[in-house]
């Protein structure tokens, strides 16, 4: 993992082995790293900020993780670092964890009190489904980008606001419905309902085939709601690869306003990956085969939003979605 990280290409990597993982879900928000979901044993600590692992300050922990994470910008590093904090083998291999399959998390609550929580790794066939969520426990509802985020794509017509919300999480045909069939459903919704605003949510989209959404782009260009104050695209740290490219296409071909935070994907980067397996260890990975010059005059590390809205612990505590709220309250010119 260290060797592939040195390449500096976010698409070229060794996959972490499927070691006993910790039944926790940590995410990097504006204020830092927070425990957002867990199994039953640690549910009382949801919403607390991670300050140390096995006594090592979180800055030291993330510095070590940076040496094994393939990334081209800070956003994608933050996404991958939060994911790897669940991996017992990586944490032990980097000497972050003192023992294999066991860590002690230092978690700070809103009052500044710190709890020491011992977490043990769980084998693959015994893993919990992280049924306890901080957002759900606080308000009974989730921010929109956490709703159905395991589905490839879905949409919702919000009748009171005459708004159409489209969540596009994977640039790939789902087993039960192709992207083209999904887009046909959207077109039918637009035809049958008054539409004041359209919001396309790419915050969970880590890639696939960027070409699949082209017919939706072509249709939107011709619609009356193709205006900056009526068409919005949400982006974030998880918007990567083809997901990021689709966001760039919305910016290029429509009048959409991009709302959220800088993407995990880099506009000018390598991609189009092929798999490989190391012959002696059996470790698997992938490597890039093509350079994509998606931004001829722009070598910025991320696609930048027009309106910066960073996910925060406040947003999750209240079960709100600040990107969605911004779009809905924006008035027509």
Q: For the chain, which ranges sit under pLDDT 70? A: 124-132, 135-140, 296-298, 333
CA distance 219 to 199: 14
Determine if the pTM surpasses 0.95.
no
301 is written with which tokens?
Answer: 């590390």
pLDDT in tens, 33-83: 999 988 888 888 999 999 999 999 999 999 999 999 999 999 999 999 999
70 is written with which tokens?
Answer: 């393939």
Q: Could you tell me if 107 and 117 are in contact, meaning their C-beta atoms sit under 8 angstroms apart?
A: yes
Q: Nearest CA to 64 among 91, 87, 40, 102?
A: 91
158 is written with which tokens?
Answer: 């919000």
Question: Residue 298: its pLDDT value, please?
Answer: 65
Question: Residue 302: its pLDDT value, please?
Answer: 95
Q: Provide the 3-class DSSP secondary structure of residue 153.
A: strand
Question: Residue 221: its pLDDT value, please?
Answer: 86
Q: Nearest CA to 220 among 243, 185, 253?
A: 253
């Amino acid at each position: 993992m260290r060797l592939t990280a040195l390449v500096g290409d976010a698409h070229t990597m060794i996959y972490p082995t499927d070691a006993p993982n910790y039944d926790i879900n940590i995410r990097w928000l504006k204020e830092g790293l927070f425990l957002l979901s867990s199994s039953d044993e640690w549910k009382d600590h949801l919403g607390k900020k991670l300050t140390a692992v096995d006594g090592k300050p979180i800055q030291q922990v993330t510095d070590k993780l940076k040496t094994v994470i393939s990334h081209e910008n800070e956003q994608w590093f933050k996404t991958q670092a939060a994911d790897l904090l669940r991996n017992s083998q990586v944490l032990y291999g980097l000497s972050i964890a003192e023992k294999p399959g066991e860590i002690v998390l230092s978690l700070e609550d809103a009052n500044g009190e710190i709890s020491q929580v011992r977490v043990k790794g769980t084998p693959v066939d015994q893993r919990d489904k992280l049924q306890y969520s901080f957002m759900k426990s606080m308000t009974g509802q989730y921010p929109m980008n956490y709703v159905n985020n395991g589905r490839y794509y879905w949409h919702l017509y919000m009748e009171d606001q005459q708004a159409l919300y489209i969540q596009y999480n994977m640039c790939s045909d789902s087993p039960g419905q192709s992207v083209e069939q999904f887009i046909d459903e959207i077109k039918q919704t637009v035809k049958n309902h008054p539409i004041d605003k359209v919001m396309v949510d790419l915050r969970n989209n880590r890639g696939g085939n960027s070409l699949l959404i082209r017919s939706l782009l072509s249709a939107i260009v011709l619609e009356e709601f193709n205006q900056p104050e009526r068409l919005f695209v949400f982006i974030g740290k998880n918007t990567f690869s083809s997901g990021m490219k689709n966001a760039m296409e919305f910016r290029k071909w429509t009048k959409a306003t991009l709302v959220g935070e800088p993407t995990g994907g880099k506009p000018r980067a390598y991609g189009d990956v092929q798999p490989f397996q190391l012959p002696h260890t059996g470790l698997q990975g992938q490597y890039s085969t093509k350079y994509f010059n998606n931004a001829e005059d722009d070598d910025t590390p991320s696609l930048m939003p027009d309106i910066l809205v960073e996910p925060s612990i406040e947003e999750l505590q209240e079960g709100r979605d600040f990107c969605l709220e911004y779009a809905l309250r924006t008035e027509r010119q």
